[in-house]
Structure 1
């Protein structure tokens, strides 16, 4: 344990080594969704209606991604903590059980998704005009559910196994193939929404094969063993508890997008749904470096917490917050300086451009505080305080933003929908800031790590 660089190397060097590949990888991974929307929005056969279709389908895709986070990030957190404690056998069990749960959840999602597709899309706000586009896209996406859940989830273990660059290559490979196949299927073969979805599924399949090759070929330090594949209730419950904060955020995002889409259609029609789909893509693109930073910080904080090196835990958390704040301030500056150009990348419809530019400015008004909120909330997950992490993670999306989306439009109409985001951002920042400050301040006087693990 003492020879593991996670417990010995300088924190800023570890953050660069672990977070930079994750940040780049998450940016690249976001291209799955962003590139689909750019190609669809600029296709003469699809345009704004196609954008609305993929926007309505997006909440379902978020639920799918949450399964990868639940068993992938949750399992990798337990994996890192056990390695930090020197318990290699328990780390191997966490790996094997998590892998099985990823496959099981992917298969179940594929089966039930195909059965309930139209009712789900209707529940998430698909209008009669948009429904055919959304169905054509999601029908194909569901067939690749196992690939998406498996590759996304197991990539966390590659990073926790000490190979962040390999994890980054996995994302590069999948996103690169998606861009290439999107061009071929949408513009070359004129396959429309089905082509965009097929490109995504094939790219995710390639990523999944690459991930499994890492663990099967002998490159990994910790192996997937047959005797660890049978899920054990105790391990699955622990993995689930650690994965719930991140997965809950995704589930909350799904619910948020469903409510948002329905209200946008009610107050602004399909064009408002299309514009917000663009803003969601930009938000993903601009904030995913922070998510990558969070993923890179997780094994650093978890290992040192498990090894009872609390000064290193504090240092990693504080440096993570500082870096995240710099990232979001830069992103915020871009949205202030070039709002119309950012919207125009996806579609140049004059009405969409006008509303999208206005919406972008309002929705991102308090963006500079979001980076802190993400890192500070995930800090609690990394040290095993899953309930606190889940509460703080859901503060913005559930406790504040969803009620605001339901109440504000009654007073300000479409503008009220847009004002809900800055309201939730600033108050969730204040709450998380207070919680984080006292936790980090008192960390040095707390008990042994094992008592923190709920």
Structure 2
């Protein structure tokens, strides 16, 4: 079908408006659905933890927290292709290269299917030793094992769903991408309490609800990309893999890949520190805190997801001023959101934590930890947005460097040093300490790169 005809029929979904529309309106148009989708996803994790905390117990929350490093590794491989493919698609559209943009779709579907299957099989085969490697005690091992033994079976479904949903968002359908996220959460929230409270399936029930929800989301996304009226859709020739395309996707996706991979390493070190200075419940406390950090972090990520196609398209079209304008607006809104998160966490920590547990000891650790970890929330927003900006314009090396400063280069030394002097508090203090230094490095890096990027005009 003629591309111009498709765009005329569905002008509101015209990706080429990214190069001429009002930046504020475009940012709202692309960010709001992404933010809603991210908030919905975050609320799904929060509600899941509430079900686990009140339906299974405090140890189950700690068992779930032990799986976080493994989940981060899985997310790393998913985003390597998913985010890389979405970013490359938006750049190709900015270059008016719709044919190559279409071919990326098939690459994402095939490569993520293979990646998900291989990772699922390997993890299931070595499940118990892997969990012990990441700090599971004898008390927590049954909970973590029950969850992952079911969850890993559905990993290929989750990988493909996330990858295709990202492409749907950057090709002019942010609302549809939001609805797919809403669908997965709705299915999960419906099934999880039935599996946990009614059928008594415990952690296995939690995992099964997650897998079935992702399957529902995948069906929704596939219906869109098999529709002949979609600008970017599945074509037979798109499933003919190109080594160059895969390498290009991985080059761009390597930033979030390393970010998630290093996050896995860091969370492992955090868990070992928590276990040493606070025991199993300290790990559970961090698991709860992480849900709150995730909520506000996902809102900022939703903003950067809305910024990504605007920045990528205009960078590809050599309209760099529009890319910088989108960056500026995104930073302002992100800082405001994280400032609210800071105030909310400092003023009402007990109220927040009581949603998850009634265990007094777990509650005390969680409240103190939340106040410490959120003390520099606004600073995190700037670092996250600028790092994503470099990823959106294809400057993968810079994006990787900035991601590593916050999650590896500065955080690990603090995690090894501060607990020696401040015990359990030191584990929590290491996070804002690393955020502050990473913020200054990010500002210096952007200032250095700014003039060189403007030459692209």
What is the TM-score with the length of structure 2 in the denominator? 0.95
1:7 lines up with 2:41 in the alignment: no
Give deviations 1:47-81, integer Å, cap 9, x for gaps: 11100110001211122222221111101111111
The CA deviation at 1:228 is 2.0
Number of residues of Structure 1 aligned to a counterpart in Structure 2: 445
Choose the corresponding residue for 1:292, options 279, 302, 307.
Answer: 302
Is residue 139 of structure 1 aligned with residue 149 of structure 2?
yes
2:40 to 15, 24, 28: 28
Indicate if the aligned counterparts of 1:32 and 1:200 stay in contact, CA closer than 8 A. Answer: no
Deviation of the 1:219 alpha carbon: 4.4
**Is the contact between residue 124 and residue 258 of structure 1 (CA under 8 Å) also seen in structure 2?**
yes
**C-alpha deviation, 1:365, in angstroms:** 1.2
Q: Does 1:262 align with 2:310?
A: no
Moved more, 3-12 or 324-333: 3-12
SS in 2 for 1:308: coil
Is 2:132 the counterpart of 1:127? no
Q: C-alpha distance in 1, partners of 2:192/2:90?
A: 37
Question: Retained in 1: the 8 A contact 2:15–2:171?
Answer: no
Q: Which moved more, 1:104-113 or 1:10-19?
A: 104-113
Q: Within 2, Cα distance between the matches of 1:57 and 1:152?
A: 20
Task: Report what 1:69 is aligned to.
Answer: 79
Give the one of 376, 393, 414 matched to 2:424: 414
Q: Summarize the alignment of residues 86-101 of structure 1 with structure 2, pairs less than 5 Å apart.
A: 86-101=96-111
1:161–1:220: 8 Å Cα contact kept in structure 2? no
What SS does the aligned partner of 1:249 have? helix
Q: CA deviation at 1:364?
A: 1.2
TM-superposed CA distance for 1:435, in Å, is 1.4
Is 2:400 the counterpart of 1:401?
no
Please name the residue that 1:155 is paired with. Answer: 165
1:247 matches 2:272: no
Structure 1 residues 149 and 3: alpha-carbon distance in aligned structure 2, compared to 1, 3 A threshold: closer
Per the alignment, in what secondary structure is the counterpart of residue 384 of structure 1? coil
1:314-333 superposed matches below 5 A:
314-333=324-343
Q: Is the 8 A contact 1:170 1:207 kept in 2?
A: yes
Contact 2:78 2:112 (C-alpha < 8 Å) held by counterparts:
yes
CA RMSD of aligned residues (A): 1.4
Q: Is the 8 A contact 1:158 1:220 kept in 2?
A: no
CA contact (8 A) 1:314 1:440 kept: no
- What residue is the counterpart of 2:53 in the other structure? 41
Q: Does residue 320 of structure 2 align to residue 310 of structure 1?
A: yes
Say which SS state the counterpart of residue 137 (structure 2) adopts.
coil
Which one of 335, 351, 369 corresponds to residue 341 of structure 1? 351
Q: Secondary structure at the match of 2:410?
A: helix
Instruction: Sort the Cα spacing of 1:269 and 1:73 in 2 relative to 1 into closer, same or farther, 3 A.
Output: same
Partner of 1:175: 185
Which sections of structure 2, spanning at least 5 residues, go unmatched? 5-13
For 1:267 and 1:230, the matched residues in 2 are separated by: 53
Question: Post-superposition shift, 1:3?
Answer: 8.3
Contact preservation (8 Å) 1:328, 1:368 = yes
Aligned partner of 1:52 among 56, 62, 69: 62
C-alpha distance after superposition, 1:295-315 (max 9, x if no partner): 111110000000001110110
Compute the displacement of 1:263 (Å).
1.2
Per-residue deviation at 1:142? Answer: 0.2
Question: In structure 2, the residue corresponding to 1:119 is in which secondary structure?
Answer: helix
**Other-structure match for 1:221:** 231
What SS is found at the alignment partner of 2:390?
Answer: helix
Deviation at 1:218, TM superposition (A): 2.6
Q: Aligned to 1:281, which of 274, 282, 291? A: 291
C-alpha separation in 1, matches of 2:292 and 2:228: 39
TM-fit CA distance, 1:238: 0.7
